[in-house]
Amino acid sequence: MWLNRLKHSRLLLRSSIFGLAISLSGCGVIDKHVEWETVEPETYPVLKAVGYAPISSQNGESDSMKLIMAMKASKLDAYRELTEQVYGQKIEGSQSVSGLVVDSETLRASVEGVIRGAEVIKTYPVGDDTYVTELSLDMQQVYDIYLSTAKPRRVKDVKYY
For 66-103, what is each residue's pLDDT tens digit? 999 999 999 999 999 999 999 999 999 999 998 888 88
Domain residue limits, the chain: 2-31, 46-159
The predicted structure's pLDDT at residue 156? 78
Answer yes or no: is pLDDT of 155 > 60: yes
The predicted structure's pLDDT at residue 126? 95
Q: Distance of CA 18 to CAs 22, 24, 28, 44, 112, Å?
A: 6, 10, 17, 56, 56
The predicted structure's pLDDT at residue 68? 95
